[in-house]
């Protein structure tokens, strides 16, 4: 009876095409594996069989919010010494500002995702970038002490939460079918890498030329201009109105048949009742333990191991460049194979390699260390893969709030990672011992992803359980 209800209610509203065999889609790519309902293969044909150029432009426009978000975060470190000197306070007096920024950035991802589900990614990206720019502008104009500095910088983090995982997977999924999202998300990842490169080249000169206040004012005004550019470039795709590809057709069918369309309460109750949401959140907690340990302690640990600051700087640059290359290699590869298994394999290999950094640093060979930076960077290019994977678990009406909920859960690792890593370093004779914590977190995350995290093709079971759990909310 349930199967009949699913078939009758979903086929008309999702415009499914019932075919006895899969067909070929645009760019010569083969369609994703069909979903079998009632003995028929259910497939899709979005945009008449191809992804329009407007889709690539829209996703490229999503690199602008990534640039703004990373640039605003990196600006704190460059401006901190000058702000401390003006306020005549110790550095610790302003150390709370990035913590508050990070708290809001991860903690408010789900509300911004819900806004994206309701109003679209274009509206959310514009409003979020506008808010970040205006509060950075206000920081440069009105900050008079540590309290006002922390409040204004934290307020920028409130809006920065709408520029990451809460919108990017949904925007990409709106234009690209499941088997093309690994390639489709790559233009959006350009902004973060570009911000990492430009920050070291531009921000120090801006601080010296205009002071830290002038630097924040210039950054705020520039991000407001980028918000206007994003409003022109970004556009929500139409694939959400067609049949979902791959496993998402089954999930959309179950949610639709049980009455859970895209209402705010039904989405929240369904998402939080899905096992995949919490398991994926645990995986990202472990990933954030690695990431925050890496960004907080890697440079100081390598210098403490006896390497020159210039060598460590080159190590970081090569590692970042290799990560970009790894994204170009493995993100499209995940389109051809199981995205979950590719992500798990990278976590396992990356964790093993990062544990090995302890022994490589102990040898004291600079050339070997730099070569190891390239190898390690290739296998820690996780971001585009796990962002796309997070969207695979949710139907179209939940692709903002679903990944946003996962990002919110991962907040535990973002804050607990540095504390745990500092404790490990404090209780060991060698500062490089943090590599075992960071690499071990990746290894555990890989095991959880491979053996515990359900495949998206089976995640419809979790959607059904969540929908039944919130049955009253799912009724219109």
234 and 353: one domain? no
Whose tokens are 């903002």? That residue is: 400
210 and 294: one domain? no
**Structure tokens belonging to residue 186:** 């790559």
**Digit-coded pLDDT (tens) for 151-209:** 999 899 899 988 888 888 888 888 888 888 888 888 888 777 777 767 767 887 888 88
Tell me what pLDDT residue 19 has: 36
* Domains identified in the chain, total number: 2
326 and 234: one domain? no
**Structure tokens belonging to residue 200:** 């070291």
What is d(CA 183, CA 99) in angstroms, rounded to the nearest whole number? 33
Structural contact between residues 77 and 101, judged by C-beta atoms closer than 8 angstroms: no
pTM flag (> 0.85): no
Flag whether 48 is in a domain: no
175 and 59: one domain? yes
Residue of higher predicted confidence among 355 and 44 = 355
How many Cβ atoms sit within 10 Å of the Cβ of residue 140?
21
Sign of torsion over alpha carbons 422, 70, 324, 371: negative
Tell me what pLDDT residue 308 has: 85
**Structure tokens belonging to residue 157:** 């983090």
Domain with 411, as residue range(s), is: 275-458
Residue of higher predicted confidence among 32 and 68 = 68
Flag whether 81 is in a domain: yes
Flag whether 408 is in a domain: yes
202 and 314: one domain? no
Tell me what pLDDT residue 17 has: 34
Over residues 342-360, the mean pLDDT reads: 93
3-state SS assignment for residue 166: coil
Closest among 416, 426, 449 to 293, alpha carbons compared: 416
305 and 423: one domain? yes
Q: What are phi and psi of 152, to 5 degrees?
A: -70, -40
Sheet holding 40-43, edge to edge: 17-19, 40-43, 35-37
Structural contact between residues 18 and 41, judged by C-beta atoms closer than 8 angstroms: yes
Structural contact between residues 426 and 297, judged by C-beta atoms closer than 8 angstroms: no
**Structure tokens belonging to residue 55:** 């889709």
Flag whether 31 is in a domain: no
How many Cβ atoms sit within 10 Å of the Cβ of residue 139?
28
225 and 318: one domain? no
Residue of higher predicted confidence among 159 and 309 = 159
Tell me what pLDDT residue 274 has: 87
372 and 441: one domain? yes
Residue 142 has pLDDT above 70, yes or no: yes
Over residues 385-407, the mean pLDDT reads: 86
How many Cβ atoms sit within 10 Å of the Cβ of residue 15?
13
How many Cβ atoms sit within 10 Å of the Cβ of residue 258?
23
Residue 350 has pLDDT above 90, yes or no: yes
Tell me what pLDDT residue 251 has: 54
**Digit-coded pLDDT (tens) for 322-333:** 888 888 888 888
What is d(CA 41, CA 37) in angstroms, rounded to the nearest whole number? 7
Q: Burial code of 164-192, b = ≥16 C-beta within 10 A, e = fewer? A: bbbbbbbbbbbbbbbbbbbbbbbbbbbbb
Residue 459's pLDDT band (cuts 50, 70, 90): low
Structural contact between residues 62 and 169, judged by C-beta atoms closer than 8 angstroms: no
* Helix (H), strand (E) at residue 40: strand 40-43
Tell me what pLDDT residue 249 has: 52
Q: Burial code of 445-472, b = ≥16 C-beta within 10 A, e = fewer? A: bbbbbeeebbebbebbebbbebbeebee
Over residues 391-397, the mean pLDDT reads: 83
Flag whether 475 is in a domain: no
What is d(CA 240, CA 390) in angstroms, rounded to the nearest whole number? 16
**Digit-coded pLDDT (tens) for 409-432:** 988 887 777 778 778 877 877 878
Tell me what pLDDT residue 241 has: 39
**Digit-coded pLDDT (tens) for 223-264:** 999 999 999 999 888 664 334 444 555 555 444 444 444 444
pLDDT over 70 for what percent of the chain? 79
Q: Tell me the CATH number at 447.
A: 1.20.1250.20
334 and 439: one domain? yes
132 and 221: one domain? yes
How many Cβ atoms sit within 10 Å of the Cβ of residue 85?
10
What is d(CA 317, CA 323) in angstroms, rounded to the nearest whole number? 10
213 and 304: one domain? no
């Amino acid at each position: 009876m349930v199967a009949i209800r699913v078939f009758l209610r979903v086929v008309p509203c999702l415009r499914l095409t019932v075919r006895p065999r899969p067909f070929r889609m645009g760019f010569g790519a083969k369609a994703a594996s069909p979903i079998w309902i009632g003995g028929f293969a259910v497939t899709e044909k979005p945009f008449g069989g191809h992804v329009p150029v407007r889709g690539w432009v829209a996703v490229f426009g999503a690199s602008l919010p990534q640039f703004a978000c990373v640039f605003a975060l990196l600006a704190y470190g460059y401006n901190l010494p000058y702000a401390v000197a003006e306020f005549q306070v110790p550095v610790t007096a302003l150390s709370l500002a990035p913590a508050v920024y990070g708290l809001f950035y991860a903690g408010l991802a789900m509300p911004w995702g819900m806004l994206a589900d309701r109003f679209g990614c274009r509206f959310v990206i514009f409003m979020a970038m506008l808010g970040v720019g205006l509060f950075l502008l206000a920081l440069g104009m009105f900050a008079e002490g540590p309290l006002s500095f922390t409040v204004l910088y934290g307020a920028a983090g409130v809006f920065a939460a709408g520029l990451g995982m809460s919108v990017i997977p949904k925007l990409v999924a709106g234009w690209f079918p499941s088997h093309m999202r690994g390639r489709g998300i790559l233009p959006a990842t350009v902004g973060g890498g570009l911000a990492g490169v430009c920050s070291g080249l531009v921000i120090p000169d801006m601080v010296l030329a205009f002071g830290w206040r002038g630097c924040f004012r210039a950054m705020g005004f520039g991000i407001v201009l980028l918000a206007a550019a994003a409003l022109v470039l970004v556009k929500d795709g139409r694939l959400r109105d067609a049949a979902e590809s791959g496993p998402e057709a089954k999930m959309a069918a179950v949610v639709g048949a049980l009455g859970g369309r895209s209402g705010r309460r039904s989405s929240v109750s369904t998402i939080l009742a899905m096992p995949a949401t919490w398991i994926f959140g645990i995986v990202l907690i472990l990933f954030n333990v690695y990431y925050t340990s890496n960004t907080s302690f890697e440079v100081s640990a390598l210098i403490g191991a006896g390497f020159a600051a210039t060598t460590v700087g080159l190590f970081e640059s090569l590692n970042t460049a290799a990560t970009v290359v790894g994204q170009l290699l493995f993100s499209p590869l995940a389109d051809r194979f199981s995205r979950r298994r590719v992500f798990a394999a990278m976590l396992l290999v990356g964790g093993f390699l990062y544990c090995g950094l302890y022994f490589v640093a102990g040898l004291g060979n600079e050339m070997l260390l730099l070569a190891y930076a390239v190898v390690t960077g290739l296998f820690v290019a996780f971001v585009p893969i796990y962002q796309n994977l997070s969207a695979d678990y949710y139907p179209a009406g939940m692709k903002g709030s679903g990944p946003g909920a996962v990002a919110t859960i991962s907040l535990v690792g973002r804050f607990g990672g540095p504390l745990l890593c500092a404790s490990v370093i404090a209780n060991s004779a060698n500062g490089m011992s943090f590599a075992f914590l960071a690499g071990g977190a990746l290894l555990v995350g890989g095991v959880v992803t491979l053996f515990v995290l359900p495949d998206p093709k089976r995640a419809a079971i979790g959607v059904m359980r969540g929908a039944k759990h919130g049955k009253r909310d799912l009724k219109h």
